[in-house]
Chains A and B, each alone.
Chain A
């Protein structure tokens, strides 16, 4: 079992819709959870971090964490074509471990 699992996608959503990206992790002592966005040919860029159960909102982005279910998600409201990228879930236990990423395509 991989430490951090994501659906590779691609996830295709129409412009203006809500994109929902999901991630599960195996290490129960994980403390912090991050979502990175990576455009093709570019480096990962942090867009959201969450540390406690519940929701955290930042503009069009909402991160959701459920430690009991070992599940973290990212919602992107009013999706734009510029949101098309690979989204990497990262989990911090003893070290930062990345999932393989979910490709998101927003169609105009």
Chain B
């Protein structure tokens, strides 16, 4: 299996622009997670889906952030409008389940820089 796939790997944009990050989970995994990692705040869970349905979006920082999962093999995280404080590495992860024994597998991440 190719693992979790994210695109783009790097994104540089200007403040105010719309940014869309993409994720393809591992086939057969029914949970998908979006994380953000910064030096200041570490790794934070933004939102997660189960069977394409958003379950917990309490970590989404503001209304500027939105996430969708139109099908089992694709998810997007959108920031509109982007701000310099959104600069971070965004990881997507997937797992077979969310129980105590289920391992989350992380994608390579998207490094976002907002100028």
- A residues in contact (CB < 8 Å) with B: 31-32, 42-46, 49, 51, 88, 92, 94-101
Q: With A32-B101, A96-B104 known to touch, is A101 a contact of B42 (CB < 8 Å)?
A: yes
* CA distance in complex: A95, B100 (Å): 10
Give which listed residue, B42, B56, B100, B109, contacts A98 with CB less than 8 A.
B42
Give which listed residue, B44, B56, B100, contacts A32 with CB less than 8 A.
B100
* CA distance in complex: A85, B72 (Å): 33
Query: Count of chain B residues with Cβ under 8 Å from any Cβ of A?
Result: 17
Interface of B is mostly: strand
For A97, give the chain B residue with the smallest CB separation: B45
Given A43-B106, A96-B33, A96-B45, 16 further pairs, Cβ under 8 A: A31-B100, A32-B100, A32-B101, A42-B108, A43-B91, A43-B107, A45-B106, A46-B104, A49-B101, A92-B100, A94-B56, A95-B48, A98-B42, A98-B43, A98-B44, A101-B43
